[in-house]
Structure 1
Amino acid sequence: MRKIPTLFIRDARFKVTEGPHPDCQWVLDGEGRATEKLDGTNLRLTVRAGQVVRVEKRRNPGKTQKAQGIFEPWYVDADPEAPADRYLFEAVQHTDVSAWPDGEHSAEALGPKIQGNPLALDQHRCVAFDLHAPVYAEVPRGYDGLREFLRECESLFQPGALAEGLVFHHRDGRRAKIKRKDFDW
């Protein structure tokens, strides 16, 4: 799994600057579509015949892996018996995958006990990025415009809540992200 680059270069405080990330110029050129970045836990669900047959969670490299030159995250099996994975499996149980095509689907687990529940959801659930990520029809494509847009950008997934940010998707598979907290307000 490749980490999604942030649309703009970061400064020493880890806030974005006006300089575009070299791999993300396509967004500023108006290419791709913008989906809502949902704030939860990243999963990969394997679906067969309308049933989830495997649940994996994302692992980010730690200090030891980074010292070994490993910088990209990967997936590991989630454990239905592990207390730390309890709410991930609850999210899977509350997600209807009966119409999902067979295959592996990257998704976000959301809900009351996941990442502080910024969308104020009353139940855990999963949202597949390739099938159900909410799409914003029109978004600005420059630093100033995106900063102002994200300041008060309402979630399409949970109206009344603020969106965490945006993920831009290019037809060729490239992606770029920008979050509200990336900006120095």
Structure 2
Amino acid sequence: MKKTPTIFKRDPQNMKSLLNEINPNCEWVFAGEGVATRKYDGTCVKIDDGQYFKRREIKKDKKAPDGFQEETFDVNTGKRVGWIKINPQLEENKWHMEAFDDSLEDGTYELVGPKVQGNLEEYSQHTLVKHSSAEQYQNVPRTFSEIAKWFEDKNIEGLVFHHPDGRMAKIKKRDFGLKR
């Protein structure tokens, strides 16, 4: 899964902060294109031809683990993003395996549950939520201030906008300094 761009530019002096400037790669969002879906707070996995993978980000100058399948490389940060096959025998994959069901179809999913990211999604058991089945939101505003206001009463991590041609863009509630 490619790294999804944030719809607004980040402040180069503080990369955790946004500028009220549209990311040029995301202009389609502000043209009203695409569908807004819920961004779940978990960890990304994929099923491909019945094989189970977890997303892995490798920082600049770090060695990738054996079997790493690179999907993207960011020339600015030196980070590589890709996939590593989940070994069901390893303790670190315990929650991944608890959620896995070999009848699930190929695609990308978000692993959520009691031991994932503090369980902000409030799942009682480890579960895979298919990204293409994420809750959709109608009439989401598309300006900086209106999106910030829209997030105020929502208990969600953020939004992912999906364009019909496959492009995606995101925005998180915390990007506006709002707590969940």
TM-score per shorter chain, which class?
0.7 to 0.9
TM-score, length of structure 1 as denominator length: 0.82
Counterpart of 1:41 in structure 2 is: 43
What is the Cα deviation at residue 68 of structure 1?
A: 9.8
Structure 1, unaligned runs of 5 or more: 48-52, 154-161
Separation in structure 2 between the aligned mates of residue 115 and residue 88 of structure 1, nearest angstrom? 13
1:104-160 CA distances to partner (integer Å, 9 max, x unpaired)?
301101100111100111111101112x1111112001101111111222xxxxxxx
Amino acid in the other structure paired with 2:55? R
Structure 1 position 147 matched with structure 2 position 148: yes
1:52-82 CA distances to partner (integer Å, 9 max, x unpaired)?
x311000102231599955341011011111
Amino acid in the other structure paired with 2:166? G
CA contact 1:109–1:126 (8 Å) conserved in 2: yes
Q: Which of 78-87 and 35-44 deviates more? A: 78-87
Separation in structure 2 between the aligned mates of residue 40 and residue 141 of structure 1, nearest angstrom? 25
Counterpart of 1:136 in structure 2 is: 137
Structure 2, unaligned runs of 5 or more: 64-72
TM-score, length of structure 2 as denominator length: 0.84
Corresponding residue to 2:165 among 168, 172, 176: 172
Q: Share of identical aligned residues, percent? A: 36
Separation in structure 2 between the aligned mates of residue 65 and residue 26 of structure 1, nearest angstrom? 35
Separation in structure 2 between the aligned mates of residue 96 and residue 166 of structure 1, nearest angstrom? 28
1:150-173 CA distances to partner (integer Å, 9 max, x unpaired)?
1222xxxxxxxx110000000011
Q: What does 1:1-185 align with in structure 2 at a 5 Å threshold?
A: 1-11=1-11, 12-13=13-14, 14-46=16-48, 53-65=50-62, 69=75, 70-93=78-101, 97=104, 100=105, 104-130=106-132, 132-153=133-154, 162-185=155-178
Aligned-residue CA RMSD (Å): 2.1
SS in 2 for 1:182: helix
Amino acid in the other structure paired with 1:60? E
Report the count of equivalent residues: 165
Amino acid in the other structure paired with 2:164? R
Counterpart of 2:66 in structure 1 is: none
- Where is the strand percentage greater, Structure 1 or Structure 2? 2
What is the Cα deviation at residue 96 of structure 1?
A: 6.2
CA contact 1:2–1:72 (8 Å) conserved in 2: no
SS in 1 for 2:119: coil
SS in 1 for 2:140: coil
